[in-house]
Amino acid sequence: MGRARGDIFEPGQRHGGPVGIRLSTAGAGPIRVDRATVHFDLDADVAPAGTLVFGRVHIGSVGFRTDRRENWYGAGDDYLACRPGRARTAMVRAGDHEQVVLDVEAITSVAGADQVRFTGYQPVSAGLGEGWNTTCTYVRDTVLTAPNIAAQPLLIGNAARLLAAMALTVFPNDALVDPPAEHRHDAHPAGLRRAVAFIDENAHRDVGPAEIAAAAYVTVRALQLAFRRHLGTTPTGYLRRVRLEHVRRQLLSADPATATIAEIAARWGFANHSRFTAVYRTAYGERPSQSLRHQ
């Protein structure tokens, strides 16, 4: 049996021959996605880290042991490996394994809490588990493969928040569902005006609910309530609307001989061309290509 220290699959790790690990990895900012075909049984001592590791077993099995528990997962299972900051031993059996590594800060920012404790290690339902896998596949195949991804901070930030929001929905945790009374009290128009002004001025930056709430001097929960109550949307929904308007302005002013729709859309955080086109057409009644050609 092999034995390794560090993360379960180290980026760049390669072993020649049929007995080894074949690894593909893609990552940017707070996200990393690994897919590993393992040809032998491997135990790895994983040091505590400020990340959450989610996984899916395609073939084989994997187990995790801490000082308090030992859990095993088989083919088709989705799992959260361990709570952040806790050392563990990963016991990987020969097969096909995938993992998504996400910084804890992405989770707490979306939850609007200083910390979030996951209370379970598998999806609350099979349907939500499939939704989680669809989201992970989208991030891996669309966002992380975007050209020059490191130069597209809006794409990276949006993807991290999308994964965090899905993780909070899919895996059991203690994040508040119903906001307490003080958050409802803070959901007033003055805070909303400050938030809207901040978004309008900073839509080109990688900002999320936590930064918007801080600029508005309210909590994330109060911010969400204010947008829902007064504008019928969410802070991120309004942010996407503002960014979409920036895309439209740039398309209308761009030279169609040199500019591309994909480049302009990616600059404002829209990675999936077909989805972007559908949203754009719904908003403006024309295709992005028509705007670029100034038709």
pLDDT bracket for residue 288 (50, 70, 90): very high
* HSE, side-chain direction, 13 A CA sphere, residue 75: 6
DSSP letters of 100-133?
Answer: EEEEHHHHHHHHTSS---B--SS-SSHHHHHHHH
Q: Per residue in 219-267, pLDDT tens?
A: 888 888 888 888 888 898 999 999 999 999 999 999 999 999 999 999 9
pTM exceeds 0.85: no
pLDDT at 223: 86
Structure tokens at 186: 């803070």
Query: Rounded mean pLDDT of 268-280?
Result: 91
Q: Per residue in 92-139, pLDDT tens?
A: 999 999 999 999 999 988 887 778 889 889 999 888 899 999 999 999
Distances (CA, A) of 163 to 32, 250, 282: 11, 29, 25
CB atoms within 10 A of CB 71: 16
pLDDT at 12: 38
Q: Which residue has the higher pLDDT, 237 or 186?
A: 237
Q: What CA–CA distance (Å, rounded) separates 8 from 60?
A: 15
Which residues pair with residue 52 across a beta bridge?
Answer: 102
277: Cα separation from own chain's centroid: 22
Query: Rounded mean pLDDT of 30-43?
Result: 91
pLDDT bracket for residue 11 (50, 70, 90): very low
Q: What CA–CA distance (Å, rounded) separates 17 from 39?
A: 10
CB atoms within 10 A of CB 142: 15
pLDDT for residue 182 is more than 60: no
pLDDT at 295: 62
H or E element in which residue 37 lies: strand 31-38
**Residue 230 neighbours by CB under 8 Å, 6+ apart:** 189, 192
Q: Per residue in 51-82, pLDDT tens?
A: 999 999 999 999 999 887 899 999 999 999 88
> Are residues 62 and 43 in contact, defined by beta-carbon separation less than 8 angstroms?
no
